[in-house]
Amino acid sequence: MSGRSPLHTRPKPVNIGKNILAVMANLTCVMFAFAILIFTLIAAIYKPEDPHLSQPTFTSDHTIAKTSDDYFNLRPSTQTGFSDDGASNVSTSSGLECVGNSDEPIDCINPEVFHLMMRVTIEMFKDVHFYKFGKPVRGSNSSTCDMAWRYRPKEGNADAFNKDYRRFVISRNEDCSFNVVGVGEYHTGLNARKPKKGNQRGFEKMNTSSKQAEASVGVVGGVADDELPVVNSNEGLFSDRKKYLVYTGGGDRCKSMNHYLWSLSCALGEARYLNRTFVMDFSVCLSSKYTASNQDEEGKDFRFYFDLKHLMDSGSVTEQGQFWFEWEKWERRGGQGLYLVEDFRVTPMKLADVKDALIMRKFGLVEPDNYWYRVCEGETESVIHRPWHMLWKSRSLMDIVSGITSRMNSDFDSVHVVRGERAKNTELWPNLAADTSPNALLSSLQNKIEEGRDIYIATNEANTSFFDPLMDKYGTHFLDDYKDLWNESSVWYEVTKKLNNGIPVEFDGYMRISVDTEVFSRGKKRIETFNDLTSDCKEGINACPSIS
Burial of 382 (0-12, 13-18, 19+ CB in 10 A): exposed
User: Has residue 477 got a pLDDT over 60?
Assistant: yes
Task: Give me the pLDDT at residue 429, please.
Answer: 95
User: Tell me, what amino acid is at 486?
Assistant: W
Q: Could you tell me what percent of the chain has a pLDDT over 70?
A: 70
Q: Crossing angle, helix 395-407 and helix 491-499, to 10 degrees?
A: 170
Question: Which residue did the predictor score with more confidence, 16 or 210?
Answer: 16
> Of 217-221, 230-234, 327-331, 525-529, where does the model show the most confidence?
525-529
User: Has residue 206 got a pLDDT over 80?
Assistant: no
User: Has residue 168 got a pLDDT over 60?
Assistant: yes
Question: Which residue did the predictor score with more confidence, 102 or 48?
Answer: 102
Tell me which of 25-34, 249-258, 350-359 is least confident.
25-34
Whole-model pTM above 0.75?
A: no
Task: Give me the pLDDT at residue 371, please.
Answer: 96
Tell me which of 7-11, 173-177, 406-410 is least confident.
7-11
Task: Give me the pLDDT at residue 136, please.
Answer: 93
User: Has residue 87 got a pLDDT over 80?
Assistant: no
118-155: b (≥16 Cβ within 10 Å) or e: bbbbbebbebbebbbbbbbbbbeeebbbbbbbbbbbee
User: Has residue 408 got a pLDDT over 70?
Assistant: yes
Question: Which residue did the predictor score with more confidence, 172 or 75?
Answer: 172
Average pLDDT of 400-410?
A: 90
Average pLDDT in the chain: 79
Strands of 475-477's sheet in order across = 475-477, 454-459, 413-417, 526-527
Residue 297 DSSP class: E
Predicted confidence band of residue 174 (pLDDT cuts 50, 70, 90): confident
Query: Using one digit for the tens of pLDDT, what is the confidence trace for 432-466?
Result: 999 999 999 999 999 899 999 999 999 999 899 99
Question: Which residue did the predictor score with more confidence, 209 or 153?
Answer: 153
Per the document, the length of the chain is: 548
Residue pair 140/168 in contact (Cβ under 8 Å)? The answer is no
Tell me which of 7-16, 268-277, 313-322, 358-367 is least confident.
7-16
How far is residue 390's CA from residue 278's CA, in Å, rounded to a whole number?
Answer: 13
Task: Give me the pLDDT at residue 337, please.
Answer: 87
User: Has residue 213 got a pLDDT over 60?
Assistant: no
User: Has residue 43 got a pLDDT over 70?
Assistant: no
Task: Give me the pLDDT at residue 111, please.
Answer: 87
Task: Give me the pLDDT at residue 490, please.
Answer: 92
Task: Give me the pLDDT at residue 34, please.
Answer: 67
Task: Give me the pLDDT at residue 123, please.
Answer: 87
Predicted confidence band of residue 511 (pLDDT cuts 50, 70, 90): very high
User: Has residue 277 got a pLDDT over 80?
Assistant: yes
Task: Give me the pLDDT at residue 23, please.
Answer: 62
Query: Using one digit for the tens of pLDDT, what is the confidence trace for 309-342?
Result: 999 999 999 999 989 988 888 776 666 689 999 9
Average pLDDT of 538-548?
A: 76
Task: Give me the pLDDT at residue 259, please.
Answer: 96
Query: Using one digit for the tens of pLDDT, what is the confidence trace for 112-139?
Result: 899 899 989 988 888 788 888 888 999 9
User: β-strands 338-341, 283-286: how paired?
Assistant: unpaired
Task: Give me the pLDDT at residue 7, please.
Answer: 38
Query: Using one digit for the tens of pLDDT, what is the confidence trace for 351-402?
Result: 999 999 999 999 999 999 999 999 999 999 999 999 999 999 998 999 999 8
Question: Which residue did the predictor score with more confidence, 250 or 325?
Answer: 250
Count of other CB atoms within 10 angstroms of residue 507: 22
How far is residue 327's CA from residue 246's CA, in Å, rounded to a whole number?
Answer: 12
User: Has residue 269 got a pLDDT over 90?
Assistant: yes
